[in-house]
């Protein structure tokens, strides 16, 4: 009988294994030039160019732009050093997004992508004509080398995007396979599609784990032609760029030369723009927008001011409170600091009424919570009810609101009450605990930010806190934030819709003590961790948005940040020398890659280019 049972069991196991094997073999494989994380791509194969690109745009000319800070390396992969953020001009990727949608990509270096029903792997078929700027072919091994570099040497935040990629294989010179740790999720496929190559032959006798200033061959439309470390970097359009006639690039990359000049003072940069040394600015200061452009060049049309709508989902901008150190290891103290921030008075007196208050970690998007929680959001949060404050299930999050007069007495009383509960008391005008005054430092990388946050600092001093600004240069700022060496830092997070594995690097427990991650606040919360994992495997966009809103409510309840403000328009200032397509993209302005130099307009200006 025992032998019979064992025999039957073996037969069943064999049948299951065969069935599984047959199921795997029988999976339908999709092969396409485009793919979307949810739904279908907006554009079909056969389009001639993007609607927001002019295929007849003239090529030529030079554009000069301003960059804030400095740079001492061209290595954007590693944590060490400060690289120019414009370095992306030199890199193409397997597939590229359109600027009219958020969740789709189209073939660039890869002509097509193949993947099975369970989405456990993806094969990218590379275009044989794709080359680096030095003429060498872009092959699968260059992507394998890029992936290995990220895994072994990459910045922690960069690594976080690739956690669901198990392996990358070069099947042939122009056939590249990604295997994933997940199934039934398009997110890892979209991540893989965004990978760019590293020229493996070039790096064969060099150390990619170190900083460098000798430009490597470029895979994109531009290559670095000259640079002065920390002062200027110039990109030249690659001669005979292999992809110039593809539908996803036609009408783009129209300038012969793009130069970024670096400034350590934003006011100096603005003056450089007004004097014609810089061609274009996306203004981020309400004061400058209200006062700095009242000049003749704007009045006579030589400089154009424009405010198109910004429909791009945004990340939170906030004062981030470092809970790794006192006093912010106490939530009551963190909550008190929220009451000290008088946004309404700041908006009226400093921001020229140009901004709205942030009440979400994902503002200007469908991913952020608003109003009281819906029944669907409550259902997602229900398994964690005993770990969350009751108000998460009933109340809308609204940051403390004042009358804007600057007499913030009610909020200050609330703050002092919370400080007292945390063991702090006022004594001779000082907020003390165990005989020591509370001391905090707000770390900034621009002196201009002191004006914007001045009322907040004043409120801290009003309640007896020894508070001060500490302004450091961009390299010091990078090191100190990487090391979490600060009390308070003012940061705006980048946002990558739809949210995915990178949320672990922003808010996950494992990232809290890992140097160089985005978890500035030191969040360590099991509910946050659990919700992030639910988001990563969300089966539909609607489900993902519900779970992200639930996560938003939990994050807000922890009081790790003091939300600041955001703007739903762009504020653009540029010299009237550009041509633009008749149609603007839905997400973005079309500048830099879809505009061009209009020779007729340019000839009317006395600019030395």
Is the four-CA dihedral 356, 279, 586, 494 of positive or negative sign? negative
Cis peptide bond N-terminal to 128, omega within 30: no
> What percent of the chain shows pLDDT beyond 70?
96
Which pLDDT score is estimated for 18? 40
Residue 25's pLDDT band (cuts 50, 70, 90)? low
Q: Which of 113, 121, 126, 127 is nearest to 30 (CA)?
A: 113
Kindly tell me if the per-residue pLDDT of 7 is higher than 60. no
Q: In this model, does residue 277 exceed pLDDT 60?
A: yes
pLDDT band at 461 (very low <50, low <70, confident <90, very high): very high
Encode 213-239 in three state secondary structure: CCCCCCCCCEEEEEEECCCEEEEEECC
31-57+73-205 with 222-311+569-602: one CATH topology?
A: yes
Strand order in the sheet with 62-68: 222-228, 232-237, 257-263, 62-68, 280-282, 572-575, 303-306
With a cut of 70, say whether residue 374 has pLDDT above it. yes
Summary mean pLDDT of the chain: 94
Virtual CA dihedral for 425, 429, 431, 435, nearest 10 degrees?
-80
8-state DSSP, 130:
-
Collapsing DSSP to helix, strand or coil, 111 comes out as strand
Region 520-539: mean pLDDT is: 97
Mean pLDDT of 301-306: 98
pLDDT at 460: 98
For the beta carbon of residue 303, count every other beta carbon within 10 angstroms. 20
For 317-566, the fitting CATH number among 3.10.110.10, 3.10.105.10, 3.40.50.300, 1.10.1370.40 is 3.10.105.10
**Residue 579: both structure tokens together:** 């041509």
- Tokens for 555? 């994050």
pTM to 2 decimal places: 0.89
Q: How many Å apart are CA 298 and CA 303, to the nearest integer?
A: 5
Band (pLDDT 50/70/90 cuts) for residue 6 is very low
Q: What CA–CA distance (Å, rounded) separates 472 from 503? A: 28
Question: How many C-alpha atoms does 509 have within 13 Å on its Cβ side?
Answer: 9
pLDDT of 12: 41
Residue 440: predicted pLDDT: 98
Task: State in words which class domain 31-57+73-205 has.
Answer: alpha beta
The distance from CA 495 to its chain's CA centroid, rounded to whole angstroms, is 4
User: In the chain, where are the structural domains located?
Assistant: 31-57+73-205, 222-311+569-602, 317-566
Give the mean pLDDT of 441-464: 96
Q: Return the higher-pLDDT residue of 563 and 5.
A: 563
Question: Are 182 and 190 spatial neighbours (Cβ–Cβ below 8 Å)?
Answer: no
Per-residue pLDDT, averaged over 521-532, amounts to 98
* Strand bridging mode 175-180 / 165-172: antiparallel
Question: What size, in residues, is the chain?
Answer: 609
H or E stretch covering 143: helix 140-153
CATH topology of domain 222-311+569-602: D-Maltodextrin-Binding Protein; domain 2 (3.40.190)
CA distances from 467 to 170, 273, 430, 443, 562 (A): 56, 35, 11, 11, 16
Average pLDDT over residues 211-231: 97
Q: Write the pLDDT tens digit of every residue in 92-124.
A: 999 999 999 999 999 999 999 999 999 999 999
**Distance, C-alpha 198 to centroid of its chain:** 22
Q: Could you give the dihedral angle defined by the CA atoms of residues 534, 153, 196 and 483, in that order, rounded to the nearest 10 degrees?
A: 60
Is the confidence at residue 569, as pLDDT, over 90?
yes
CA dihedral sign of residues 141, 145, 151, 154: negative
Interval 522-539 mean pLDDT: 97
Q: How confident is the model at residue 607 (pLDDT cuts 50, 70, 90)?
A: confident
Q: How many CB atoms lie within 10 A of CB 477?
A: 20
CA distances to 54, 107, 242, 357 from 48, in Å = 10, 13, 17, 42
> What is the arithmetic mean of pLDDT over 74-103?
97
DSSP 388: S
- Quick one: which of 542, 478, 533 has its CA closest to 508? 533
- The string of pLDDT tens digits covering residues 165-207 is 999 999 999 999 999 999 999 999 999 999 999 999 999 999 9
């Amino acid at each position: 009988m025992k032998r019979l049972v064992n025999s039957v069991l073996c037969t069943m196991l064999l049948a299951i294994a065969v069935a599984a094997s047959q199921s795997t073999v029988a999976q339908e494989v999709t092969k396409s030039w485009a793919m979307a994380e949810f739904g279908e791509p907006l554009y079909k194969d056969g389009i001639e160019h993007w609607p927001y690109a002019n295929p007849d745009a003239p090529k030529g000319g030079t554009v000069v732009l301003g960059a804030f800070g400095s740079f001492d390396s061209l290595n954007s992969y590693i944590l060490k050093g400060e690289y120019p953020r414009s370095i992306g001009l030199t890199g193409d990727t397997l597939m590229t997004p359109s600027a009219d949608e958020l969740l789709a990509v189209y073939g660039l270096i890869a002509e097509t992508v193949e993947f099975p029903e369970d989405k456990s792997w993806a094969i990218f078929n590379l275009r044989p004509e794709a080359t680096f700027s030095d003429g060498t072919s872009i092959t699968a091994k260059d992507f394998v080398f890029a992936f290995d570099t990220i895994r072994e040497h990459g910045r922690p935040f960069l690594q976080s995007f690739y956690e669901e990629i198990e392996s990358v294989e070069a099947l042939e010179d122009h056939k590249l396979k990604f295997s994933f740790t997940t199934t039934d999720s398009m997110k890892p496929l979209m991540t893989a599609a965004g990978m760019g190559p590293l020229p493996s032959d070039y790096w064969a006798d060099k150390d990619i784990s170190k900083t460098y200033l000798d430009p490597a061959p470029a895979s994109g439309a531009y290559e670095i032609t000259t640079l002065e470390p920390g002062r200027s970097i110039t990109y030249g359009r690659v001669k005979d760029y292999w992809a110039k006639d593809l539908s996803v690039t036609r009408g783009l990359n129209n300038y012969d030369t793009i130069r970024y000049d670096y400034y350590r003072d934003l006011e100096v940069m603005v003056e450089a723009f007004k004097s014609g040394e810089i061609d274009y600015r996306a203004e981020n200061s309400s004061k400058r927008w209200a006062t700095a452009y009242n000049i003749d060049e704007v009045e006579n049309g030589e400089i154009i001011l424009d405010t198109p709508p910004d429909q791009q989902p945004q990340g939170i901008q906030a004062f981030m409170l470092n809970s790794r150190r006192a006093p912010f290891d106490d939530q009551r103290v963190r909550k008190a600091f929220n009451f000290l921030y008088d946004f309404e008075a700041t908006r009226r007196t400093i921001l020229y009424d140009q901004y709205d208050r942030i009440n979400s970690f994902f503002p200007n998007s469908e991913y952020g919570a608003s109003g009281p929680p819906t029944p669907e959001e409550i259902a997602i949060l229900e398994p964690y009810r005993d770990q969350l404050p009751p108000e998460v299930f009933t109340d809308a999050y609204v940051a403390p609101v004042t009358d804007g007069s600057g007499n913030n007495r009610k909020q200050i009383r609330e703050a002092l009450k919370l400080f007292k509960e945390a063991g702090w008391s006022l004594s001779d005008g000082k907020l003390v605990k165990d005989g020591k005054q509370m001391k905090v430092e707000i770390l900034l990388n621009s002196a201009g930010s002191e004006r914007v946050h001045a009322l907040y600092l004043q409120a801290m001093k009003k309640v007896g806190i020894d508070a001060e600004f500490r302004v450091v240069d961009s390299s010091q700022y990078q090191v100190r934030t990487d090391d979490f060496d600060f009390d308070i830092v003012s940061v705006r997070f980048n946002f990558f819709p739809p949210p995915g594995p990178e949320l672990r690097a922003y808010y996950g427990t494992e990232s809290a003590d890992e140097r160089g991650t985005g978890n500035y606040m030191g969040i360590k919360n099991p509910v946050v961790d659990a919700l992030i994992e639910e988001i990563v495997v969300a089966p539909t966009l609607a489900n993902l948005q519900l779970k992200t809103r639930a996560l938003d409510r939990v994050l807000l309840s922890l009081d790790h940040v003091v939300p600041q403000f955001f703007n739903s328009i762009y504020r653009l200032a540029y010299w009237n020398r550009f041509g633009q397509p008749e149609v603007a993209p839905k997400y973005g302005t079309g500048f830099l890659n879809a505009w061009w130099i209009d020779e007729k307009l340019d000839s009317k200006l006395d600019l030395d280019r």
